[in-house]
Chain A
Amino acid sequence: MIQIKDLHKSYQMGSNSLHVLKGIDFNVKEGELVSIMGSSGSGKSTLLNILGMLDEADLGSYTLDNVSIKNLNEKVAAQYRNKFLGFIFQSFNLINYKNALDNVSMPLYYQGIKRKERTDKALHYLEKVGLADWATHLPSELSGGQKQRVAIARALASDPKVLLADEPTGALDTKTSYEVMELIQGINEEGKTILVVTHEPDIAEMTKRIVNLKDGRIIDDRPVNQILAKAHV
């Protein structure tokens, strides 16, 4: 699903150049649930941003679902993001003046899907995350866990190839974190490829493979015995 070869990325910080990714080689097969770990500054978020086409690598190749991702202009990048990727953020990033249903249907809106169909689909995904009853609530009326579940529904709405989650449990307490992970595991069981960036070992243990990053290099890439989040809820 994802092939990355010799990926380099550096940032210009004033006169200093900060080399963040120093040659990443990394493949993800369809249906995998991978966690990317590392201390802050290890480059895990940068890697995720490049995978999410929000940022561009300086060197190296990136192929997503057999499409080479290179030198995209913003328009094509936006279309690819819409078609291939679903984002889950640490701070949820719901649009605060739109209710849950409208938030979920946003990716569909940018696909140009008709309102009626959009609403049906969005409601379906809200149901899937167990929030159908909250469809008309604004994000400010939801708890943190609920917000993240709405965000997951939104990421799923356009039926993307890959879900990219950047610290999805970073703003949640342990119990809610596990609930969210349970949901993510369930989605993965249905065959969706998911990448989770986290620095919490217990969250990482709930994925199927851990990739450890340090100073811009992969130092460790191992499969794990997945711990089911359900057991902890």
Chain B
Amino acid sequence: MFNRDRWAEILEAMNANRFRTLLTAFGVFWGIFILVLLLALTNGLRNGVGADFGDFATNSMFMWSQGTSKPYKGLPKGRFFSFKLEDVEVLKDQVPELKYVSPRNQLGGFRGSNNVTRNEKTGAYNVYGDYPEFIKQQPMDITAGRFISYSDIGDKRKVAVIGVDVVKGLYDIDEEPIGTYIKINGINFLVVGTFKNPKSNGDQEEEANTIFVPFTTFAQAFNRADNVGWMAITAHDHTQITNVKQRVFDIMKEQRTVHPDDDRAIGHFDLAEEFGRLMGLFSILSLVGYVVGGLVLLSGAIGVSNIMLIVVKERTKEIGVRRALGATPWNVKSQILLESLVLTILSGMWGIACAASAIWLMNFGLSQSGPVDNFANPSVNIGVIFIALTILLLSGILAGLIPATRATQMKPVDALRIE
């Protein structure tokens, strides 16, 4: 089937009307080009928005206490309460699906007043009381020193891990922050580490403007006793946080003597759900990409089919002669089919190659101009390319099928009579 004469004939046939062949090929080229490009753009959008989530473990939720809305066990409604440190252990015990439960406290923050000073320099920063696990939920690059450790927690050491922007704000360029002291709300902390955020896009400044201190130290130094501001909870990989969160709420309500049906007492933000919703959106977007690209490709394939019909018509007599000389219908059909396949696949490959170059150019542009909001690293994986090739193969066969059938429909005697 794939002998030299076959190929020679296909090339001869395609060369016979070069301009027409080119125009036909362009339809398929354009279809696959659009398809691959659309998928790459969708991917870029997905990567961009995904980067906005930073590296935070997406199977997570944040949970905080709000005022109660129902009286319970003699307690009035509208009562404010705090989670307690002991709740963390209870949660870990009773819900084994949870990977990390990090209690957190915060000082300062958005539009906060100046709260951190060093020598004559001063600034307003977010100060968090945290447990060592937190770095596993929100990965950050420790650029020097270390993160908070359990001995810090146990000994309530006054140590701090500060973000790169804090370093910029409080230190001179050639100063080494590790081992120096900063004053947070008038209390001296020893700097043991610096960090930066690996690749978060939107809130970069905010996050690098942050100081972490041990939770226990925070509680004691800033009079929080065993109150917990909020919790960052991550589930194990094989369970969805969305599926276990109701149990977490129930336990917390019991712990804090809140009416079991009081859904407004505990606020939460389900990162997994939000993330899933967004990713769902992107799945739909890439579906749209497939559909739109596929339809453009379809019109290309129809173009090929059209031209092949004309080719068959033009060569009716030749086909008649060939059949008189002993070409079986299958000989003729496979020739036409192969011709349309070769045309589709060759132009399709060109389309893929050009789309890949366009993507490369885009990435090059992005790397030159720096990150753009909500768009990063447009790309398609090899799977998509294979899908595109499969679509090409199918459309090539489809495009050749009608002309091939047409070619052998006429009786040889009638074909020979055509002038």
Interface residues of A (CB under 8 A from B): 49, 52, 54-55, 74-75, 78-79, 81-83, 87, 89, 91, 93, 95, 97-98, 106-107, 109-111, 115, 154, 158
List chain A residues, Cβ under 8 A from B411.
54-55
**B408 at interface, CB cutoff 8 A:** yes
Contact B5 A74 (CB under 8 A): no
Decide yes or no: A107 and B325 within 8 Å by CB, A54-B411, A95-B318, A97-B16 being known contacts.
yes
Residues of chain A lying within 8 A (CB to CB) of residue B330: 75
Known: A109-B5, A115-B4. A89 touches B416 (CB 8 A): yes
A-B complex: 9 closest residue pairs judged by Cβ atoms? A82-B326, A110-B326, A54-B413, A78-B328, A55-B413, A93-B321, A54-B412, A75-B328, A107-B325
A54-B324, A54-B416, A106-B322 given; A93·B329 CB < 8 A: no
Distance, CA A154 to CA B321, complexed state (A): 11
The complex places the Cα of A79 from the Cα of B323 at a distance, in Å, of: 9
B residues near A55, Cβ cutoff 8 Å = 411, 413
Chain B, 1-31, CB within 8 A of any chain A CB: 3-5, 12, 16
**Chain B count of residues within 8 A CB distance of the other chain:** 24
- CB of B327 within 8 Å of the partner chain: yes
Cα distance A8–B407 in the bound complex, in angstroms: 28
Tell me if B12 and A81 are in contact (CB < 8 A).
Answer: no
* Distance A52 CA – B325 CA, assembled complex (angstroms): 10
Tell whether, in the assembled complex, residue B328 and residue A52 are in contact, meaning their CB atoms are under 8 Å apart. Answer: no
Contact across chains for A74 and B326 when beta carbons are under 8 A apart = no
**Cα separation A89 to B324 with both chains bound (whole Å):** 11
Interface positions of B (Cβ within 8 A of A)? 3-5, 12, 16, 317-318, 321-331, 408, 411-413, 416, 419
- Can you identify 26 A-B contacts, CB atoms within 8 angstroms? A54-B411, A54-B413, A54-B416, A55-B411, A74-B323, A74-B328, A74-B329, A75-B328, A78-B323, A78-B326, A78-B327, A78-B328, A81-B323, A81-B324, A83-B326, A93-B416, A97-B16, A98-B12, A106-B325, A107-B326, A110-B322, A110-B326, A111-B326, A115-B3, A154-B325, A158-B326
| Chain A residues positioned under 8 Å from B329 (CB to CB) | 74-75, 78
Cβ of A57 to closest chain B Cβ, rounded Å: 12
How close is B255's CB to chain A, nearest CB, in angstroms? 83
Complex formed: what's the CA distance from A154 to B331 in Å?
A: 19
Complex Cα gap A78–B4 (Å) = 22
Chain A contact residues, majority secondary structure: helix
**Residue ID in chain A nearest B415 by CB atoms:** A54
Contacts of A111 in B (CB 8 A): 326
**Residue of B at shortest CB range from A160?**
B326
Identify A79's interface contact among B3, B321, B328, CB under 8 A: B328
Besides A82-B325, A115-B5, A154-B325, 6 more A-B contacts (Cβ < 8 Å) are A54-B411, A54-B413, A54-B416, A81-B324, A81-B326, A110-B322
Residues of B close to A158: CB separation below 8 A: 325-326
Inter-chain contact total with CB atoms closer than 8 Å: 64
Q: What's the least CB distance linking A51 to chain B, in Å? A: 12
CB neighbours (8 Å) of A89 from chain B are 321, 416
In the complex the two chains form, is A110's CB within 8 Å of B327's CB?
Answer: yes
* One of B3, B322, B413 near A49 (C-beta < 8 A): B413
Q: How far is the CB of B12 from chain A (nearest CB, A)?
A: 5
> Which residues of chain A come closer than 8 Å to B16, judged between CB atoms?
97
B10 to chain A, nearest CB (A): 12
Which of A78, A79, A81, A154 has the most C-beta atoms of chain B within 10 angstroms of its own C-beta? A78
| Complex interface: chain A residues within 8 A of B4 (CB) | 115
Contact (A97, B412) CB under 8 Å given A78-B323, A78-B329, A87-B325: no
Asked if B321 and A74 sit within 8 Å, CB to CB, the answer is no
A125 smallest CB distance to B (angstroms): 14
In the complex, the answer to whether A97 meets B12 with C-beta atoms within 8 Å is yes
Q: Provide the bound-state CA to CA distance between A94 and B125, in Å.
A: 89
CB proximity of B95 to chain A, nearest CB, Å: 72
Give Cα distance in the complex from A115 to B3, angstroms: 10
A110, B331: Cβ atoms closer than 8 Å: yes
Which residues of chain B have C-beta atoms less than 8 A from A115's C-beta? 3-5
Q: A93-B317, A97-B12, A115-B5 are in contact. Are A52 and B326 (CB under 8 A)?
A: no
Q: Is the CB of A79 within 8 A of B326?
A: yes
Which residue in B325, B331, B408, B419 is a CB contact (below 8 Å) of A81? B325
Give Cα A55–Cα B327 distance, bound, in whole angstroms: 15
The chain B residue with its CB closest to the CB of A157 is B325
